[in-house]
Chain A
Amino acid sequence: MHLGLKHWAIAISLLVAQMLQIMPMPIMVDPYRPDWVLLVLGYWTLALPQRVNVGVAFLNGLVLDILLGTALGIHSLALSLVIFILAANYQRLRNYSVWQQAFMIGLLAALYHLVIFWLQHMLTDIYFLFDYLWPVLTTMLFWPWCFMILRKARRQLKVS
């Protein structure tokens, strides 16, 4: 039983992240929704870069594109790029304190949103509203908690 969970932990956590990403929310809270997929992918990239890196990010981005109804490739490109930066610097980032990490994740989330905005802007005429950047802040604030929960899960299930 535990053996099974151990193998599926990463997949299950990513599935939950995808669900949280599209879960209907009250209109008051909706603009502040953190980028769950980015958070969970980011954690696994830092923890197990040999298992989760650009390939997994690309596939998750594709799923996100289908779920959100954007043109295929937009989220996959943005996620691949951000996860590449994380995977290339994982040793340095691991030594940071959790709040320093949160700051870096925030910067990467900003890059993620800007890349998505630029790509969407090329396809359709959309205007930039500052509200689009709220998730950057919430993603940053959610990182420490995500980090702790996922680390606990990883250690208990001995995922490696």
Chain B
Amino acid sequence: MDTIFSRGPSLNSRLVLASVLSVLLIILDGKLDTFSTVRVYLNSLVSPLQYMANLPGEVLNQTARALTTQRQLLEDNAQLTRQNILMSEELQRFVVLEQENERLRTLLGSPVRPEVRKIVAELMAVDNNPYSHQIVINKGTLQGVFEGQPVLDDKGLVGQVMQVGTTTSRVLLIADVTHAVPVRILRNNVRLVASGSGQLNRLVINHVPHSTDIEPGDMLVSSGLGQVFPEGYPVGRIVDVIRDETRPFAIIRAVPAAQLDRLKYLLLLWPQDAPQGPVEQGEAVNAPGS
């Protein structure tokens, strides 16, 4: 029988080799970010594993769907019909307003905001890495997803694409400590920056003077200043404004508009100057009127 280390380098030299390689990788990838192109292939390589890990949950969902009773379906249907009527009423008003807005903007000579391309993506997995808030979605370079792409859900801004693979991509949530969004207050257009706090239900707004006009309940929308997120999507709502004069700045906290802990369907946006990748026809959801 083989005794340990009868072949190859000794255990100590293996550890030294592995450590040196790891430290090199950490510096190259974490600090200098040289692997972003290789990451696409690496992510594609492991995506079968991700699809497999997602399978049990998917099966459970399918069975749950198959077992829903007729009564439940009827209730859902009634509720959705009600919602649909309410929303189409709003939409009618919206169309009129949009046209009016467009006409006013052309009168003023300011550029009309164009429709942007968008597709629906589905959540695949939530990372259990406690140090950062990321999710994996089931769209990748094949659908034209690119790094830095804005991601929304039906309530508001969710985050931006951080890494892409061919069929999956990784989204950094706005609540992550390394993330910040330029926002403005809907009420009075005060510009702020909303940073993630590391907790899913908290955003913090730093460096706001005590005299700023900001109140609990104020709505924050993206200001479009960072060139990443398009303008005008809801980001969060202010919950706490603590004006402690002994501190240099006011302490302001907000809750994200999107429900970051119960995401399922997400919307990927292509802002105007976004790189155009390959597009799968039929995947694109055409906005009404376009």
**What is the bound-complex CA distance between A30 and B23, given in angstroms?**
29
| B residues less than 8 Å from A72 (CB atoms) | 25-26, 28-30, 35
| A-contact bits for B124-143, CB 8 A (1 contact / 0 none) | 01111111101000000000
A55 touches B177 (CB 8 A): no
A69 touches B15 (CB 8 A): no
List of 8 A-B pairs having minimum Cβ-Cβ separation, nearest first: A73-B25, A71-B30, A77-B22, A73-B26, A80-B18, A73-B22, A54-B14, A72-B29
Q: Is B259 engaged at the interface, CB distance under 8 Å to the other chain?
A: no
* Complex: chain B residue closest to A134, CB-CB: B130
* Complex: chain B residue closest to A75, CB-CB: B22
Chain A residues at the B interface, C-beta cutoff of 8 Å: 15, 18-25, 27, 30-31, 33, 49-50, 53-55, 57-58, 61-63, 66-74, 76-77, 80-81, 84, 87-88, 90, 116-117, 119-120, 123-127, 129, 131-132, 160
**What is the bound-complex CA distance between A31 and B29, given in angstroms?**
27
A69 touches B134 (CB 8 A): yes
- Specify which of A24, A27, A160 lies most central, judged by the most chain B CB atoms within 10 Å of its CB: A24
B134-185 contacts to A, CB under 8 A, are: 134, 162-163, 170, 177-178
| A146 → chain B closest CB, angstroms | 18
B26 touches A66 (CB 8 A): no
B132 touches A76 (CB 8 A): no
A76 touches B125 (CB 8 A): no
| A131 → chain B closest CB, angstroms | 7
| A residues less than 8 Å from B3 (CB atoms) | 50
**What is the bound-complex CA distance between A25 and B30, given in angstroms?**
28
**What is the bound-complex CA distance between A125 and B131, given in angstroms?**
10
**Other-chain contact of B15, A21, A84, A116 (Cβ < 8 Å):** A84
